[in-house]
């Protein structure tokens, strides 16, 4: 064995440098955000709060109360900050999980479908490290997608409606700064509520080499879970569905904040992330990538 071969073998045994992992994560983030489907999804998410705000403004001008619809819709005309909560409540049941499901489902299966997955594994990443980078990328997209909705809603609310001190759903009044801080926390909670979908999509993505099939299956599972959550006959199962506590973020607009459902919801997401993340690791580390 030559000296060059010995050095290469030693480098492979030591594993990649941590900075190399950060570079891989940066590359994955940039690649994901440059894909047209991700840009379209973010554009749709940004447009939803604008559409809601315009509709509420028009209906308010016509004398309609506009109380029917997503949570907090009736309060939007009194304070534009409530549009953040309304937009998140409107997008969380379908648009946000659909966007995350598309990105997560395509994370591994899309690479396999394009034939680039085997080349990624030639680099000194290792399957575990690559899977963690893929999951971190999807989680980052969860945060970005949620912040896009919240920022679009905040800007639209400020432009179309009055802002200032706001009344919580408990009937107390808080300052605009406090309300703005709560809106940011709500956005972070909503993003955290999607990590279970991200892990589920990653697992599905390891089961197939078709990106479209993985995306469709993930979105289908999200829709199925929400349909099942509507049946009172399944009351014993509903608390364990990953979508059951999604709208509990509304409790952050209480004074004092009601933490019970929020903590249970975040704990459930952590459980889904652990279970499906482990399943994705078990599948991906034993999968034949060469075929």
Residue by residue, what is the 3-state secondary structure of the chain?
CCHHHHHHHHHHHHCCCHHHHHHHHHHHHHHHHHCHHHHHHHHHHHHHHHHHHHHHHHHHHCCCCCCCCCCCHHHCCCCCCHHHHHHHHHHCCCHHHHHHHHHHHHHHHHHHHHCCHHHHHHCCCCHHHHHHHHHHHHHHHHHHHHHHHHHHHHHHHHHHCCCCCEECCCCCEECHHHHHHHHHHHHHHHHHCCHHHHHHHHHHHCCCCCHHHHHHHHHHHHHHHHHHCCCHHHCCCHHHCCCCCHHHHHHHHCCCCCCHHHHHHHHHHHHHHHHHHHHHHHHHHHCCCCC
What pLDDT score does 45 carry? 96
How far is it, in rounded angstroms, from Cα 8 to Cα 5? Answer: 5
User: What is the C-alpha R_g of the chain?
Assistant: 22
Q: Are strands 166-167 and 173-174 parallel, antiparallel or unpaired?
A: antiparallel
Measured torsion, CA atoms of residues 107, 281, 15, 33, in degrees rounded to the nearest 10: 20
Is 42 within the bounds of a domain? yes
What pLDDT score does 62 carry? 54
What pLDDT score does 135 carry? 94
What pLDDT score does 234 carry? 87
Is 77 within the bounds of a domain? yes
What pLDDT score does 69 carry? 59
What pLDDT score does 6 carry? 41
What pLDDT score does 12 carry? 42
The count of structural domains within the chain is 1
Is 142 within the bounds of a domain? yes
What pLDDT score does 126 carry? 76
Is 291 within the bounds of a domain? no
What pLDDT score does 158 carry? 93
DSSP code, position 35: S
Q: Which residues of the chain have pLDDT under 70?
A: 1-21, 61-71, 114-116, 118-125, 288-291
Is 9 within the bounds of a domain? no
Which of these, 207, 202, 204, lies nearest to 139 by C-alpha position?
Answer: 202
What is the domain range of residue 237? 17-286
Is 201 within the bounds of a domain? yes
How far is it, in rounded angstroms, from Cα 142 to Cα 14? Answer: 33
How far is it, in rounded angstroms, from Cα 265 to Cα 188? Answer: 13
């Amino acid at each position: 064995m030559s000296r060059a071969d010995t050095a290469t073998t030693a480098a492979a045994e030591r594993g990649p440098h941590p900075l190399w992992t950060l570079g891989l994560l940066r590359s994955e983030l940039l690649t994901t955000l440059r894909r047209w489907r991700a840009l379209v999804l973010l554009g749709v998410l940004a447009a939803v709060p604008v559409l809601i705000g315009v509709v509420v403004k028009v209906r308010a001008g016509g004398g309609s109360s506009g109380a029917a619809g997503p949570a907090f819709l009736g309060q939007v005309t009194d304070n534009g900050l409530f549009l953040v909560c309304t937009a998140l409540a409107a997008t969380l049941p379908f648009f946000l999980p659909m966007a995350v499901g598309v990105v997560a489902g395509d994370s591994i299966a899309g690479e396999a479908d394009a034939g680039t997955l085997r080349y990624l594994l030639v680099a000194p990443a290792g399957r575990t490290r690559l899977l963690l980078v893929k999951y971190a990328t999807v989680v980052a997209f969860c945060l970005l997608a949620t912040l896009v909705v919240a920022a679009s809603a905040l800007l639209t609310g400020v432009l179309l409606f009055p802002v200032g001190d706001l009344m919580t759903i408990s009937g107390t009044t808080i300052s605009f700064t406090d309300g703005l801080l709560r809106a940011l926390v709500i956005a972070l909670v909503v993003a955290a509520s999607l990590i279970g979908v991200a892990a589920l999509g990653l697992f599905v993505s390891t089961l197939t080499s078709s990106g479209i099939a993985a995306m469709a299956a993930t979105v289908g599972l999200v829709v199925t879970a929400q349909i099942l959550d509507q049946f009172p006959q399944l009351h014993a199962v509903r608390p364990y569905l990953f979508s059951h506590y999604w709208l509990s973020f509304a409790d952050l607009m209480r004074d004092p904040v009601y933490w019970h459902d929020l903590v249970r919801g975040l704990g459930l997401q952590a459980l889904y992330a652990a279970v499906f993340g482990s399943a994705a690791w078990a599948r991906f580390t034993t999968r034949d990538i060469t075929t």
